[in-house]
Every structure is written in structure tokens, then in C-alpha cells.
Structure 1
Amino acid sequence: MRNKGFGKDIEIFKLLFEGISEGVIVVNKTKNIVEVNTSACDMFGYSYDELVGQHLDILIPTQFHHAHKEYTDQYLDTPKRRQMGIGKELYGVTKDGHEFPVEVGLNPFKLKGENFVMSLVTDITIRKESEVVIEKLNEELEKKIQLRTEELERTIKKLTDLNAALEIEINKRKIAEAKTKDALQKERELSDLKTKFLSLVSHEFKTPLSGILTSTTLIGKYQKTDQQDKREKHLKTIKNKVHYLTGILNDFLSVERLETGKVSYNYEEFSLVNLVNEIIYGANITLKEGQNLHYPKDLDDTILRQDKKVIELVFANLLGNAIKYSPDHTDIYFKVDTSDNKIIKFEIQDQGMGIPAKDQKHIFERYFRAENALLNQGTGIGLNIVKDHLENLNGKIKFESKENIGTIFFIEIPKRHE
């Protein structure tokens, strides 16, 4: 090392630097190299004179210059001893353009009133290569383990088949009993499933049917002209209950078709205005007392090519939830955006109970119900059906929600299904 860089203090630094196996690079506050050791020169392929006085970027690949400038500027504002690039892979570049992985430790210090940063640079090429070799060996080991496992499984299967054959020959009665027990177990499981399903259906149908029966009975008692408002009230109750039951039946049918892959979509051309009017008409009859449903009444008409019935089912479900989970005397908003040439966007916003943050990641799962909605009627399959149908129509759905404030669903559907 020559007497260049720190001047009179060079002997001290020479003694310290040359005893270090890592590359040592010292830069000043302008990021110019003021001192290096032999290890650094050898590592990067430069002579001492070629490095001292150069900007630090000479040792950094060009594609990282901009990001490195930001990192170093931030570091020089509040310098402290630390490892550089934690969680990131760092690279250096040699004089001949070869890039190689490095680890860098930063050590700020002050000398004669001037700030410097000493970097300890380690070439970790061998370690990286070793990691690749180890990873490859691990992959090969996993493959061997998998092969051994498959061989073992085949051996076990052969032994199992042999034992089964021997059991058949030795004791047919035991085999018959085992089959009978297995059949009984499956029958019990099927019976449990039927019981759970019937319990769900019974629970969801019982209350609406009771309401319909009560309203039907009371209507018969209001026969006078001045009792028309009472008749209308019970007729509305019946309509709401029937609408709710129809929705549940549609949900069950949709689940069955989606699971069996029997869903067939009928793509046709229809008016957006007509679609919105039918959606709003269906939702209005289920509004609670004092609820207001706001929707665009001067919407520019657009001709869509989609499955109209499925889209109606989607919005009937979403608006039904907005109404059901919002209290009386609240506003519900149904917004439509046709500005995009290919996509039509909808928003459904309510002022309801919202979805707890911990439940939001599960909200589209079948049969899942949020913790704060368990006391409300529902099957937990509506949003799952909505998401499946929209994806099949090349659409999207997402939401934002805050508990006790409300929920907004964002829906995108292609204007024309090609």
C-alpha cells in the first residue's frame, strides 16, 4: 500500500488493513475511494492507484447505481455500524466486468474532523456456489426419498393385496363382516350429512314459512276497506319471505351445478338500463323500514353481452346482504360506471354491521359466516356462489369493510363476453 489517501496516517491504516483478509474500502462523504487494502485490489482486479480517487460506483454493477445512491445517501445522513443490504443480494463488479456476490459491513468513523466510512467486503461466490450445490443435492435427495417412498408404497400395496387374498381364502366371513362394517360406517356418515343438511334447510325455511303462515292467516281477518293498509303490510311480508326462500333455493341449485360442473351460461345481448331496473325492483321489495336504495336514474344505456340471469342472481345476493345486514333507516348505494370501453364497474355500499377484520380473508369460503352475523339468517354460501359465477364470466369481485361502519363491494364484468 502506498502513501496515498490518508497521508501521514497511512502507516497505521496499512498495518491494520493489510492484516485483514476481507477487502477494505474507505470512502469519504462524497463516496470517493480514499483507501483500499491489497485484498480489495485483488478482489476487484484493480491496482491501488486505479482505485484510490475513483467514485465508489466503479465497483458496483451499472444496473444498481441508482438504488445504491439512494441507500448510501440515507446511510450517510445517519451513519452507524451495520451490515449492508440485509435481506437483499449485493453484487460487486471487477475491472473486466465480472459480477460476483458480496457481503458488506459498514463502519463509520471520523478522522481530523472529516467523516469516512470503512467497508469490509467479502466475496461470497464460493458460498453461493456451495448453496447451489447443496440445494441441488437436497433436490436429488428428495427425489431419491420419493422414489424409495414409492417403492415402499408399492411393496406395502403388494403385501396388503397378498394379505387380502390370504384373508379371503382363510376366512371369508371376516371379510364379509369388515365390508358390512365399512358399509354401515359410510351409511352413518351419509345419514349425518343428510341430517346436517336437513337441519340447515329446516332452520332457514322454518322462520320464513312461519311468517308467511301468520301473515296469510291475518290477511283473512282484515276484510274491511279501511283495513287495506294492514293487508298491504302482510302482503309485503309474504313477498319478502317468498323472495328470501327463492334466493335460498337458487343458492342450493347453484352450489349443486357449480360442484358438478353442470353450469351452462346463456350469453345474450341486453340493455344495461333494463338490467339495473330489474335488479333495483327486486331489491326494493325487501327493503327494511326507512331504508333507501340509491341508484343511477339517468344512466346512459349500454348493450351488454353476458348471462343476464346470472348477473341478476349475483346482484340479488349482494344487495340482499346489504339490506339484511344494515339496520332500519340507513342508505344503500348501487353505483354503475360505464366509462371503460370493455369493462363495466359496479359498487354496492351499505351502512351495516361490516365484516370483522379477522374474518375478511374467509368471507368467500363456502358455508363461512362472519362472527358478528351468526345470529342473522343465512347459509354462508351466497358470496361463494357470487365469486364463482363472476370468475366464470371473466369478472372480478373485491371489497372493503369496517366493522360497525359498513361494507363496499367492487364488481367488474366485461361488457361483452367473447
Structure 2
Amino acid sequence: MKVFAENNYIFNLLSEAVSEGILVVDKDHIIVATNNNADQMFGYDNHELIGQRVDILVPEPHSKNHGQHVDKFFETNKSGKMMVDRLLYGLRKNNEKFPVKIDLYPFVFHGIDYVFALIFDKTEISKRDLQIKELNEHLEKKIKTRTLELRETVAMLQKEIKRRKDAEKTIKLALQRERELSELKTKFLSLVSHEFKTPLSGILTSATLVGKYKEASDQERRDKHLTTIIAEVRHLNSILTDFLSIERLEKGKEIYNFTKFSLSKVVNEVVYNANMLLKNGQQINYPHNIDEVVIYQDEKIVTLILTNLLYNSIKYSPEDSEIDITFEVGQAGMVLKIKDHGIGIPEKDQKHIFERYFRAENALLNQGTGIGLNIIKDHINNLDGKIYFKSKENEGTIFTVELPIDNRILLGLK
């Protein structure tokens, strides 16, 4: 300490030019020199620290072991190397703790070991670090909040986008449906106009000719034209029945009336009416051993199914051909088959044959609405039945209908 006192002027001159605090400590832990910045930093008057143990600048609990650290430092740091960047806490005269960073430089002066300590007051930096930390925490919270808000906004936007896409899809479907309905309406009006015009022209012609045959000898001619009129009227009635069926089926207003009835009665009536439509040489083969067969179903629908399929077979079969009707009746169901040797259905058209208004390519020159098969398929589906076919173009078609019947009703068991 005496050495530094004798050279105090030079030390002060050099140390006061440094903005950080400077302490010089000897091997006995005694402070031998300070600069004004170090005195002010620790709250002491100028040179008040000289002669004091360095421990008084170290807060509890570190001050108890501080001497051991100093001794160890002197023992292990004799190479003149600098020990840098130790972040500690200092203790001011008023017992206030504050953060410091200390760089230590061991040196030897006049054969005596010393430590030169360069002290940085980290209070302001710590405050700034704390502020930065608080700002970062605040920013992180804000980011989390904004992220959550953004996610919610994105979710809302996605829902809105989906809603608008769904609405757009619904509108497109509605527009497409409207166009389809418009096309169907046009097609329907054209179809009705054409289908009604032909039989009405036939009725008008036959009615006019009947009026001209007044003699008794013209009875055969009159009968021929009356038969034509009856057939055309029945054809018109069939078309109207089909159109009314479409409306009822679409609106779900079709009511099925299940009753017990004779199968032969239905077959005979349908075949009798169909005979008026037969072409030259055409023949209908149907079972005659079903007089005792009674089934429980909707008689009107069974008649409609048989009529539609039989009339189609007549229409699309050539002259001098046979049409076969067969029935298989069991306890739980009935199978109807109608086989013809007509023009058949082209393979590429077969998947569309039950679609409304569809007509196969090879049937376009024949009269027809294209709704008969669609109607009976809807009825059969409603009755939990099946309809299917096998067909080959120019060789003929076999339509098969399976309908459930409950013979327990007939036996009084249900």
C-alpha cells in the first residue's frame, strides 16, 4: 500500500482518465488504490476505501467466501492473463446492492502481487435489460393475443369463404336445375304436342270417315274406324295417366291401395286391350292356368306395370312375332317376365333406359313419351320391388319385375 501511496500521483493521473471504476487489491485483500469513479460507484468519499478489506464491497452471502476466492485467484492467475467478464453484485456504503461486471488483471509491482479490478456499473444496463425483458414479454403477449385474434379471424374468414362457396354452389345448382327444368318444360311441351297430335288426327280422320259410311253394307268399315277411335282414345288416356302419375310421384302424393284380387282378371283385361294394338301376325302368349291365383298388392299398379311393358313389346316388335308373358307366384313374391323378339335396346343406351324422357336411339321413329318405364320403376321401388332386363339389339328384350306379395294376408294370418 505504501508503494502505491508514494506513486499516487501517477496512478491518479492514469486512473481518472478511465470512465469505469478501478480498484487495486493486494494479496492480503486490502484495497491499496481507487479512482474517483470507483469511490462514487460504491458511495464512498475519495480514497475512503484505501486500507479497507475488499470484502466490504461484497454483499451477503458471498462476502463470507470471498476471501477464499481472492486467495485462489492469486494462486492460479500468475501468468499475467486477464480474467474477464465476471458478473457479480457490489455493495454500496448504504448497503444497497447493485449489479456489476468485473474484469480482473493480476500484475506484480516492486515484487508484490496485486490485482487490478476494472468495475462496470450494470445498474442502468440491468434496468434497460429489465425494460427490454418486460417489453419482450409484453410483445410476446401481444403477439400471442394478435396470433389468437388472427387465427380467429382466419377461422371466421374460412367459415365465411366456405359459406359463400356453399351458397355459390347452391346458386349454381339452382341455376342448373332451372335450366334443366326449362329444357324439360320445352321438351315436355313438344312431346305432349306431338304425342297428342298423332292420335287426335287419327280420331278425327276415323270419325269423319265413319260419318260417310251410311249404308248397312259399310258396317265392317265403320267398325274398323270405331276400333281405331277407341284405341287412340285409350292411348291418349294412357298418356294422361302417365303425366298425372309423374306429378303424384314427384310430390310424394301417390297412395297405394293394397287389396286381394285375381291375377287372371288383370292379365285378361290388359291382354284384351292390347289386342287392338297388335300388328299383323303378332301374337301374345300368356298363362291360362292362373284363374285360381289371388294376390295381395295394389291392383292399379300391377295393371300399369303389365300394360306399359306389354304395349312397349308390341310397339317395338315386328309383324308376325310372338310376345310371351309368364308369372311365378310364391309365398312372398311374384315374378313377372315379358319377352319379345323386337328391335332390342342398344348396349350404350341400356344404362339410361329408366331415365325420364329418354328414348333409345333405335326407337326415336316410334311414338312414345319416354316416361312409362321411369314411372313404373318409381312405383316398383316404392313397393320394395325390382325391375331389370336383358336385351340385345335386333334380337329382343326380356323385362323382369319382382314384386313382394304377402300371402299371410290371404290366409288370415296377419
TM-score, shorter chain, exceeding 0.5: yes
What is the rounded CA distance, in whole Å, between the counterparts of 1:188 and 1:342 in structure 2?
Answer: 44
Q: TM-score, normalised by structure 2?
A: 0.55
**Which residue number corresponds to residue 209 of structure 1?**
200
Residue from 135, 145, 152 that aligns with 2:158: 152
Residue from 312, 317, 325 that aligns with 2:303: 312
Per-residue Cα deviation, 1:299-346 (whole angstroms, up to 9, x for no partner): 2522211110111111111111001111222111111122x2221111
Residue from 376, 395, 403 that aligns with 1:405: 395
What is the rounded CA distance, in whole Å, between the counterparts of 1:370 and 1:270 in structure 2?
Answer: 35
Aligned positions of 1:47-66 closer than 5 A:
none
Q: CA deviation at 1:158?
A: 8.0
Per-residue Cα deviation, 1:191-245 (whole angstroms, up to 9, x for no partner): 7654433222101111110011000000111122222221121112112211211
What is the rounded CA distance, in whole Å, between the counterparts of 2:394 and 2:325 in structure 1?
Answer: 20
**Which residue number corresponds to residue 141 of structure 1?**
none
**Which residue number corresponds to residue 256 of structure 1?**
247
Q: CA deviation at 1:279?
A: 2.0
**Which residue number corresponds to residue 342 of structure 2?**
352
Structure 1 counterpart SS, 2:391:
strand
Aligned positions of 1:290-329 closer than 5 A:
290-329=281-320
What is the rounded CA distance, in whole Å, between the counterparts of 1:217 and 1:271 in structure 2?
Answer: 40
**Which residue number corresponds to residue 226 of structure 1?**
217
**Which residue number corresponds to residue 382 of structure 1?**
372
What is the rounded CA distance, in whole Å, between the counterparts of 1:149 and 1:373 in structure 2?
Answer: 56
What is the rounded CA distance, in whole Å, between the counterparts of 2:400 and 2:164 in structure 1?
Answer: 55
Over the aligned positions, Cα root-mean-square deviation in angstroms equals 3.0
Q: CA deviation at 1:275?
A: 1.9
**Which residue number corresponds to residue 384 of structure 2?**
394
What is the rounded CA distance, in whole Å, between the counterparts of 1:219 and 1:203 in structure 2?
Answer: 25
Question: Is the alpha carbon distance of 1:226 and 1:150 closer, same or farther for their aligned partners in structure 2, counting shifts above 3 Å?
Answer: farther
**Which residue number corresponds to residue 371 of structure 1?**
361
Q: CA deviation at 1:368?
A: 1.1
2:347 aligned partner, one-letter code? A
Matched, 1:288 2:294: no
Question: Is the alpha carbon distance of 1:300 and 1:188 closer, same or farther for their aligned partners in structure 2, counting shifts above 3 Å?
Answer: closer
Residue from 231, 234, 250 that aligns with 1:240: 231
What is the rounded CA distance, in whole Å, between the counterparts of 1:409 and 1:158 in structure 2?
Answer: 47
Question: Is the alpha carbon distance of 1:156 and 1:267 closer, same or farther for their aligned partners in structure 2, counting shifts above 3 Å?
Answer: closer
Question: Is the alpha carbon distance of 1:187 and 1:329 closer, same or farther for their aligned partners in structure 2, counting shifts above 3 Å?
Answer: closer
Structure 2 counterpart SS, 1:220:
helix
2:318, 2:342 within 8 Å by CA — same for their partners in 1? yes
Q: CA deviation at 1:281?
A: 1.8
Question: Is the alpha carbon distance of 1:158 and 1:199 closer, same or farther for their aligned partners in structure 2, counting shifts above 3 Å?
Answer: closer
Aligned residue pairs, count = 248
Structure 2 counterpart SS, 1:364:
coil
**Which residue number corresponds to residue 102 of structure 1?**
none
Structure 1 counterpart SS, 2:388:
strand
Q: CA deviation at 1:412?
A: 1.4
**Which residue number corresponds to residue 262 of structure 2?**
271
1:152 aligned partner, one-letter code? Q
What is the rounded CA distance, in whole Å, between the counterparts of 1:255 and 1:186 in structure 2?
Answer: 18
Question: Is the alpha carbon distance of 1:153 and 1:414 closer, same or farther for their aligned partners in structure 2, counting shifts above 3 Å?
Answer: same
Question: Is the alpha carbon distance of 1:156 and 1:280 closer, same or farther for their aligned partners in structure 2, counting shifts above 3 Å?
Answer: closer
Structure 2 counterpart SS, 1:321:
helix
What is the rounded CA distance, in whole Å, between the counterparts of 2:349 and 2:179 in structure 1?
Answer: 32
Question: Is the alpha carbon distance of 1:402 and 1:194 closer, same or farther for their aligned partners in structure 2, counting shifts above 3 Å?
Answer: closer
- Following TM superposition, the consecutive aligned residue runs of length 4 or more in structure 1 with deviations greater than 3 angstroms are 148-151, 155-159, 185-196
Q: CA deviation at 1:282?
A: 2.3
Gaps of 5+ in 1: 1-147, 162-184
**Which residue number corresponds to residue 74 of structure 1?**
none
2:400 aligned partner, one-letter code? F
